[in-house]
Amino acid sequence: MNTKISSAQGAPLAGVRVVDFSTLLPGPMCSLLLANAGAEVLKIERPGRGDEMRSYVPKFGSGSVNFALLNQGKRSVALDLKEPTAVQQAVALVRQADVLIEQFRPGVMDRLGLGYEAMRAINPSLVYCAITGWGQYGQLAGMAAHDLNYQAETGLMGLTVGSDGAPGLPNVLVADLVGGAYPAMMNILLALRAREGSGQGCFIDIAMADNLFPLVYWGLGNGFAAGKWPIPGGDLVTGGTPRYQVYRTNDGRYLAAAPLEQKFWENFLRVLEAPHLLDDAADPGGIREAVAAIIATRSANEWLERFDGVDACVSVVKSLEEAVESPHFQQRGLFRERIASDDGSQMPSLPLPITRCLRHHAGDRAPDLGEANPDALQS
């Protein structure tokens, strides 16, 4: 591992330097996680405009909320990679780096002179992580796409449909985060660990679409082993049982009910005063309708009171604002840490999935464009 002076002394990734060429979401989230574990992250951006996220709304000070949340604690280096001099400056940064992250389509970094083979030649210990939608090879490798496309192509979207049979529009960027950022960080950490023994880095091919398949492990197992591929509304977690459903209350709210195990199902029906519905195997559709009719007779708060203290796996579907204000998450301190803007305003930082004893406070704000150029580009 390259020896460097770091303000993150004692943090798990203290002394690790990351050169991050990525923009928008998957790569920046990955490097944000690394920064919060103590790594020094140099974010390479276009001069003048920078990461496209900087222009997003809503604004946070003179910048963007999106950019601030995803780039807190990093350092920005502005380089025009179309200029040979800037490429050489980037090469010099990579020569001293432990990790490189990029998010271009396959072949772009090679054309810039910053591809893996070229970088390995000057820095054999480099961990080079390339994040793409479809991977470095394959029929779809060069196709433009977004999260919606990855969820469509991998079958995830087809498992949830509305009453009209149309797939629902996902509201969580699962491919970018669960398929991209998190596997990228995990593989980078594994590569750094392996390097301790071999002294050699490696190339990491993160394909966001590939990494969605483990999320439906149960469906793959059913299909591969029994030839029973899941269908929307027909399986345990896709609506095929009354024990895993969303039920409407009489005040227009919804209960998320998941009493899958028999003991929870019995408790659930006891609160509903409907023991006659206990045997749901013979007619799951009919039982589901009967349960829905009972739930529709009371308000969400009334049901919460009735289920209070009962192990039945029942929750009210909350808005994001309600969830943030929940006493439980407030007690957990999820939104305690703050991020500042250039005008002095503050908001909570992202509650990243790094346990507190391993977390390093990377900084209170996101970097101004190119603010690290004078220091980082010294020859």
Residues with catalytic roles: 146, 176
Rounded distance between C-alpha atoms, residue 97 and residue 126, angstroms: 7
Backbone dihedral region for residue 61 (phi beyond 0: left; psi -120 to 50: alpha; all else: beta): left
Pairing of strands 75-78, 40-45: parallel
CA 252 to chain centre: 31
According to DSSP, the residues that pair with 213 across neighbouring strands are none
Rounded distance between C-alpha atoms, residue 18 and residue 20, angstroms: 6
Pairing of strands 99-102, 17-20: parallel
Shortest CA distance to 115 belongs to which of 104, 92, 216? 104
Q: How many residues does the chain have?
A: 379
What DSSP designation does 275 have? G
Shortest CA distance to 120 belongs to which of 36, 209, 204? 204
